[in-house]
Copies of this chain bind each other. A is one copy, B any other.
């Protein structure tokens, strides 16, 4: 397997969010010659939208995505409307930042305004997701901002995303039409025996649905459902194989490293983290 092009390396800012604010992360990427970045909304809000856009541009970085929209299901109509409005603002921000797509973490079972799950109706939640994406597409499509559904690992089905497979994401793209694609995150989908076929299906669509590719690793044991993701090479995912499937399906975009790691990488010197990201992108991705 050929090494990946180092120019395709991108940093999802969550990877060093515990140590650095967004301006520091931008500077860090520039210093470590990481050309891509994918910032989170809360970090952009703190640093200022226009200031962040300028700083990213001035540092010579490009976005591989913008994190994130979604979270469509809610128990009442008013909350769902509020979620839609907030998603429209996320589209606007993504446009200002020059993002290639807005990543959608679609939400799980409907919650009340205190964030408590109030329904066990997964089918209904999935209908709310479909309808929410459909509504948002009416705003994002004419604005020229592609939406990227990120299927999350099934262990997040209840509380974060009830779209958990590439097949489901592809089906939503079939149903909802242009302007919608998929963010493939190896951590979430590596286990799926249908993965290669569904990547092919997404790549064969016209235009291609393969809007983003996220990488990190699955650790054994995994000690926390949320914040125990591994650096590439430290776990069990055959990342070069999945990259080869993405490339065979026509994907030429960036490789975005996104590592939530409360007890390890978030506790390290962030310059060491970025150096490790570079090396592992080359040697283990």
Contacts and interface: CB of A to CB of B under 8 A. Distances in A.
A220 B159 contact: yes
B191 A238 contact: no
Nearest to A123: B193
A158 interface: yes
A237 B120 contact: yes
Given A159-B220, A220-B159, A221-B225, A154 B121 contact: no
A109 interface: yes
A157 interface: yes
A238 B154 contact: no
| Chain A facing B: main interface SS | loop
B158 A220 contact: yes
A225 B221 CA distance: 9
Contacts of A214: none
Contacts of A162: 191
Contact of A117 (B220, B222, B241): B220
A225 B220 CA distance: 11
A218 interface: yes
Chain A to chain B: the 4 pairs with minimum beta-carbon distance, closest first: A157-B191, A120-B238, A154-B191, A158-B236
Given A117-B236, A126-B193, A153-B155, 15 more contacts: A120-B237, A120-B238, A120-B241, A122-B191, A122-B193, A154-B155, A154-B191, A155-B225, A157-B191, A158-B191, A158-B218, A158-B236, A159-B220, A159-B221, A225-B225
Interface of A: 109, 117, 120-122, 126, 153-155, 157-159, 162, 164-165, 168, 190-193, 218, 220-223, 225, 235-238, 241
